[in-house]
Structure 1
């Protein structure tokens, strides 16, 4: 479809160029439009149309070629945005140059206008700078789950001025579930606010915790072992593979951490109960499903041994 539109656009560009040449060489007396003859005006407009259509056709062919040779959707999206800006700027200069026939004057005028726009449109320009920062530093990309300022969601588009998120949580739902809404965040926010990326390309996993409260009469060593066994049976091998990658990423930094490659349980004492916190590694989009499954498996194991695992009597469930 893109190639077909490109062929059509180039064909129209050629037709407009031939039309301009035909009008310019025609020995016909054209009426005047103001201080300019209709023939000269027609030539300029047809030339401008040829430039615009030609630039658009070439852009479509380049985009089609990039899409064929790019396997990453994120990289293709970034390249498409850069090419769109470059071809758009070139076409704009070409169209104004064709209409005015003053190429250097157009470039100078665009420079003066750009200088004036810098003061009049500061926020959009900051957003454009934010877009450049996103392309260069890669704090996030298409498909990442992020939190930007107060907005959290999955990135579905990064435009010149805004980033669009498929909202997660929000004020409608909880437990990291999509709300069905989209949120647009100005790109300028990344220059002044913290950006949290939960699924960045180098390591798309996060550490989660599942807390279970038990009574002080519980055999804590047994309960911890049961929780670890339940988690190890479910996600142990997958977690070990992901932790190996986590260690590779850590080795590229100056940070030194002791990382366990299997699920582990930490103990936190409260006034009326003991809280057992299961720590494990998971992909953020599977976080809630894995949590639900682990909770069911752990409760099943605990309920199979009521003599060794006791729950707080005054618990709220």
Structure 2
């Protein structure tokens, strides 16, 4: 009891420390309640989307309560807390600057809607699908690295939200969930050029018609929202004459998650159509081909015996 009384007497003599201690206890209490509610929602809400949004909503409410508590707690007592808050702010700014920047980044992501869970982004040289955003980290399912094309590598990446202020953010799905892709088809000069154009165009229209129809609607939204010129979303075909072959370049629009699958379907059907021409179209390659061997005369002579 003596020790307790001594602590009480010491706190009574230092009202600033007492006030800061009460403030810290309130903050801890709010954080504990927020975590308990988040855990309850995680265990009792079956729908993934509802569960995720509910947890994020509770987290935001907790931050709002902390901000409100901070404002109301110190209002009217600024004179008493000037020195303490000044020293505390300086220490926090120096030691926790990355953490503060991460929290500011999370608020920036939320209010400006830089990206959201489900978006495919590239940030700080890392590409992947956003699977979670909390107050400090953005969690991504990584794409690429040692895996070719746009496939998952299997690694989950946690990236500080502070990076939203430090470099560009490439969003593959926000506002316009389509990207342009292309591939080149080289054919020999002896091939039927007009037939090649017809085959590529027909296959492209067949495979890409669904993407073209959907992308037109989305592109209108992009044009109305941003200062950007209208673009052609239909497949376009260009021809280039090279030293070795005629090169056809097909440029088309595709769902950002189906780029690899769509390219495979296009190339497979175009190859099959070319094979069905029975030699009217021949795909060129950079291999060396010997067309004709020169005529060589060999004379064998019998030595004369002496």
TM-score by length of 2: 0.71
Task: Work out whether 1:141 is the aligned partner of 2:116.
Answer: yes
Larger deviation, residues 51-60 vs 138-147: 51-60
SS in 1 for 2:247: strand
Task: Give 1:100-249 correspondences, 5 Å limit.
Answer: 109=84, 112-170=87-145, 172-200=146-174, 202-249=175-222
- What is the root-mean-square deviation in Å for CA atoms of aligned residues? 4.1
Distance 2:160 2:239 in 1: 42
Contact 2:34 2:62 survives alignment (8 Å): no
Task: Work out whether 1:33 is the aligned partner of 2:4.
Answer: yes
Unaligned runs of 5+ in 2: 12-20, 289-306
Q: Which residue of 1 aligns with 2:268?
A: 296
For residue 286 of structure 1, the aligned residue among 235, 258, 265 is 258
Contact 2:185 2:283 survives alignment (8 Å): no
Unaligned runs of 5+ in 1: 1-29
Task: Give 1:36-75 correspondences, 5 Å limit.
Answer: 36=7, 56-57=32-33
Contact 2:34 2:58 survives alignment (8 Å): no
Distance 1:73 1:106, change over 3 A: farther
Distance 1:35 1:167, change over 3 A: same
Q: What does the per-residue CA deviation read over 1:137-181, in whole Å, with 9 as the maximum and x for residues that have no partner? A: 2221111111112111111122223222111001x2111111001
Distance 1:269 1:144, change over 3 A: farther
1:198, distance to aligned residue in structure 2 (A): 0.6
1:93, distance to aligned residue in structure 2 (A): 10
1:76, distance to aligned residue in structure 2 (A): 5.7
Distance 2:198 2:58 in 1: 52
TM-score by length of 1: 0.69
SS in 2 for 1:35: helix
Distance 1:244 1:189 in 2: 32
Q: What does the per-residue CA deviation read over 1:257-315, in whole Å, with 9 as the maximum and x for residues that have no partner? A: 3414x322222343322332222222111111111112111111111114331111435
1:89, distance to aligned residue in structure 2 (A): 6.0
Question: In the comparison of the two structures, how many residue pairs are matched?
Answer: 272
1:74, distance to aligned residue in structure 2 (A): 8.3
SS in 2 for 1:246: helix
Q: Which residue of 2 aligns with 1:305?
A: 277
Distance 1:193 1:206 in 2: 22
1:73, distance to aligned residue in structure 2 (A): 8.3
Contact 1:198 1:204 survives alignment (8 Å): yes
Highest Rg: 1 or 2? 2
Distance 1:51 1:243, change over 3 A: closer
Distance 1:277 1:155 in 2: 33
1:77, distance to aligned residue in structure 2 (A): 6.9
Contact 2:186 2:284 survives alignment (8 Å): yes
1:122, distance to aligned residue in structure 2 (A): 2.5
Q: Which residue of 1 aligns with 2:244?
A: 272
Distance 1:271 1:72 in 2: 60
SS in 1 for 2:201: helix
Contact 1:208 1:279 survives alignment (8 Å): yes
Distance 1:127 1:270 in 2: 52
